[in-house]
């Protein structure tokens, strides 16, 4: 008969292996004594079976015994530090198989107590975030321990400038399980101008609840994370330079350009008013009407002369301004148009001359509605909706040159006559254009 007494010491009776306690990542050993109570020489094969078999070995794995002799073997337990090795009670068995009498196989058993270990691994993405007032981060937490835990978060910073909000505030994790949480970082005050402000902070992940308070011998493995929130200014540096340039241009405009423009516009408007036709059909002389050579003795002012914008039937009132000679010129084109019709007024540049236009003023004193187009020769200068203005002026630093026999043309489409100062609606549209510039001779 073969008996297999097994215990932690040689010669001890019984078939039980005492309970063993081991921490994952550590190594412990126990022993088993095998005795040959038969009357023949017997060989025994030993093998660890059960949940511990993957990380347990027996040395030696085979023994040969004479009758009445025994030998003690060593059982080595080396559980890895892994979430797969769950904390708690795990059965351990050693199968002892006799070679000559395999039917007498025995499996002495014991219990292995796996101790708890705690480890949380946290990743934060991104580590650096930019924003005006707030930044958003993503937290990934994995339970690398062998027991379920509840994980919470603890932020840290040098001052109190930042506010932190976690969603969710706590994670429940089984061994080997991963979960995600969102972190929102917010500042209390904006940065209006200047350089970006860097706010560094840290983030610590720890276990929460009674399980963390009761365990004093092994705190959870924690890795504080360093991160930054970069608060960018509301207005960048380049915007300050642009604002300074705009303010400088406005100061130059009000100091130099605006008085000149207003003076030129006032002079052009005065000329337009002075050159309007009188009720008797005679043109009121304007400040640039020459030396009076157009007024012949014994007769009125000549009307309808070619090139002065007064051709009969073209819908224009007599043009005013200088008609001969060189120098500064000012011409007025008066266009009267019936409702629903289109009419034009023209001024023709005299022969052997070039008219360099620098200013135009157009008046819609009745508040008519419709469309007005100004053309220099074949060049369209502008098209304006009449209802958008009462007086409009344009100025050019470089004169627009109009050669001889080309015209300054005003085309008016009257959609709805306006109401002048009399308070009664007009029968037709009435617009006035004043053109100013330098008339130069092309003769050598």
Q: Among 88, 205, 90, 87, which Cα is nearest to 146's?
A: 87
CA distances to 179, 319, 332, 353, 376 from 408, in Å: 79, 12, 10, 14, 5
Predicted local confidence at residue 19, as pLDDT: 84
Element containing residue 422 per DSSP (H, E): none
Predicted local confidence at residue 5, as pLDDT: 43
Which pLDDT tens digit goes with each residue over 131-158?
Answer: 999 999 999 999 999 999 999 999 999 8
Number of Cβ within a 10 Å radius of residue 47: 16
pLDDT above 90 covers what percent of the chain?
58
Which pLDDT tens digit goes with each residue over 322-347?
Answer: 444 578 889 999 999 999 999 999 99
CA distance linking residue 167 with residue 346, whole number of Å: 77
Model-level pTM? 0.49
pLDDT at 279 over 50: no
pLDDT at 310 over 60: no
pLDDT at 1 over 60: no
Which range among 86-100, 312-326, 408-422 shows the weakest confidence by mean pLDDT? 312-326
Buried b (16+ CB within 10 A) or exposed e, 288-327: bbeeeebeeeeeeeeeeeebbbbbeeebbbbbbbbbeeee
Mean pLDDT, rounded, of the chain: 81
DSSP labels, 194-250: SS-EEEEEEEEEEE-SHHHHH--SSPPB---EEEEEEE--SS-HHHHHHHHHHHHHH
Q: Averaged over 197-208, what is the pLDDT?
A: 92
Predicted local confidence at residue 183, as pLDDT: 96
pLDDT at 174 over 70: yes
Tell how far CA 51 is from the center of its chain: 56
CA distances to 234, 264, 275, 332, 373 from 270, in Å: 50, 10, 9, 11, 22
pLDDT band, very low/low/confident/very high, at 295 (cuts 50, 70, 90) = very low
- Integer-rounded Cα Rg, in Å, for the chain is 53
Domains and CATH numbers, the chain: 20-114 (2.60.40.10), 120-231 (2.60.40.2310), 256-274+308-441 (2.60.120)
pLDDT band, very low/low/confident/very high, at 40 (cuts 50, 70, 90) = very high
**Please, are residues 74 and 39 in contact by the beta-carbon 8 Å criterion?**
no
């Amino acid at each position: 008969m073969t008996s297999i007494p097994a215990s932690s010491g040689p010669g001890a009776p019984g078939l039980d292996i005492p309970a063993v306690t081991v921490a994952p990542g550590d190594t412990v050993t126990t022993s088993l004594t095998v005795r040959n109570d038969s009357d023949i020489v017997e060989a025994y094969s030993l093998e660890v079976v059960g949940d511990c078999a993957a990380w347990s070995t027996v040395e030696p794995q085979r023994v040969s015994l004479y009758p009445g002799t025994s030998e003690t073997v060593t059982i080595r337990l080396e559980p890895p530090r892994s979430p797969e090795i769950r904390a708690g009670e795990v059965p351990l068995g050693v199968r002892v198989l006799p070679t000559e009498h395999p039917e007498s196989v025995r499996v002495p058993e014991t219990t292995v107590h796996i101790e708890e270990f705690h480890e949380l691994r946290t990743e934060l993405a991104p580590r650096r975030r930019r924003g005006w007032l707030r930044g958003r981060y993503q937290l990934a937490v994995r339970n690398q321990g062998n027991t379920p835990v509840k994980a919470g978060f603890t932020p840290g910073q040098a001052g109190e400038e930042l506010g932190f909000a976690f969603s969710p505030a706590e994670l429940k994790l089984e061994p080997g399980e991963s979960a995600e949480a969102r972190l929102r970082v917010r500042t209390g005050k904006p940065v209006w101008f200047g350089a970006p402000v860097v706010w560094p902070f840290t983030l610590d992940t720890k276990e929460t609840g009674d399980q963390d308070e009761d365990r004093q011998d092994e705190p959870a493995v924690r890795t504080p994370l360093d991160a930054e929130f970069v608060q960018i200014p509301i207005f960048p540096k380049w915007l300050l330079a642009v604002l300074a340039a705009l303010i400088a241009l406005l100061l130059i405009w009000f100091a130099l350009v605006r008085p000149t423009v207003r003076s030129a516009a006032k002079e052009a408007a005065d000329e337009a008013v002075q050159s309007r036709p009188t009720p008797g059909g005679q043109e009121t002389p304007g400040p640039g009407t020459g030396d009076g050579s157009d007024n012949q003795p014994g007769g009125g002012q000549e009307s309808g002369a070619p090139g002065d914008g007064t051709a009969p039937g073209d819908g224009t009132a007599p043009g005013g301004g200088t008609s001969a000679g060189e120098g500064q010129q000012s011409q007025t084109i008066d266009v009267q148009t019936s409702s629903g019709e289109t009419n034009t007024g023209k001024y023709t540049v005299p022969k052997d001359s070039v008219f360099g236009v620098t200013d135009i003023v157009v008046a819609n004193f009745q508040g008519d509605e419709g469309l007005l187009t100004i053309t220099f020769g074949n060049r369209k200068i502008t098209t304006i909706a009449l209802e958008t203005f009462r007086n409009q002026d344009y100025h050019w630093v470089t004169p627009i040159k109009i050669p001889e026999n080309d015209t300054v043309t005003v085309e008016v489409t009257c959609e709805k006559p306006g109401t002048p100062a009399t308070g009664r609606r007009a029968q037709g549209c009435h617009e006035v254009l004043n053109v100013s510039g330098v008339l130069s001779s092309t003769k050598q």
